[in-house]
Amino acid sequence: MTAGGARGRTPGSRVRTAPVALAALLALLLPGCAAGPAARPAATGADATARDPRPVPDTPGADGSARAPGHKHPHPHAHPRTPAYRRWGLTAPLAPPPREPDRPPRLRAAGPGLPPVVDRVPTRDKVVFLTYDDGAEKDPRFVDMVRELRLPVSMFLTDSVVGPGYGHFARLRAVGATVQNHTLDHTALRGLPYAGQRAEICGQQHKLRQRFGARPTLFRPPYGLHDATTLRAAADCGIAAVVLWRASMQIHDLRYAVGDRLRPGDIVLAQFRGPDQLGGATLTQMTTRLLRRIQEQGLTVGRLEDYL
In this structure, what are the phi and psi dihedrals at residue 133, rounded to the nearest 5 degrees? -110, 160
By mean pLDDT, which of 97-111, 130-144, 165-179, 285-299 is the weakest?
Answer: 97-111
For the domain made up of 115-306, give the CATH fold. TIM Barrel (3.20.20)
Nearest to 128 by CA among 95, 170, 91, 90: 95
157 vs 132: CA distance, rounded Å: 8
pLDDT recorded at residue 152: 98
Q: How far is CA 235 from CA 109, 213, 230, in A?
A: 11, 20, 9
Mean pLDDT of 107-134: 95
Residue 46 has pLDDT above 60, yes or no: no
Tell me whether residue 104 is exposed, middle or buried, using C-beta atoms within 10 angstroms of its C-beta: 0 to 12, 13 to 18, 19 or more: middle
* Arithmetic mean of pLDDT, 74-98: 83
CB of 132 closer than 8 Å to CB of 173: no
Compute the average pLDDT of residues 30-37: 39
Are 264 and 234 spatial neighbours (Cβ–Cβ below 8 Å)? no
Which amino acid, residue 306?
Answer: D
pLDDT surpasses 70 at 7:
no
Predicted local confidence at residue 52, as pLDDT: 37
- Cα within 13 Å of Cα(128), Cβ side: 27
pLDDT exceeds cutoff 50 at 32: no
Segment 237-258 shows an average pLDDT of 93
> Sign of torsion, CA 215 218 219 223?
negative
Instruction: Render pLDDT for 189-221 as a digit per residue (tens, 0 to 9).
Output: 999 999 999 999 999 999 999 999 999 999 999
Give the mean model confidence (pLDDT) for residues 234-254: 94
Q: Is the pLDDT of residue 19 over 60?
A: no
Domain boundaries, the chain: 6-38, 115-306
**Predicted confidence band at 253 (pLDDT cuts at 50, 70, 90)?**
confident
Measured in degrees and rounded to the nearest 5, phi and psi for residue 267 equal -100, 130
Averaged pLDDT, 50-77: 40
Confidence of residue 74 (pLDDT cuts 50, 70, 90): low
pTM for the full predicted model: 0.74
Residue-wise pLDDT for 274-298, tens only, equals 998 888 899 999 999 999 999 999 9
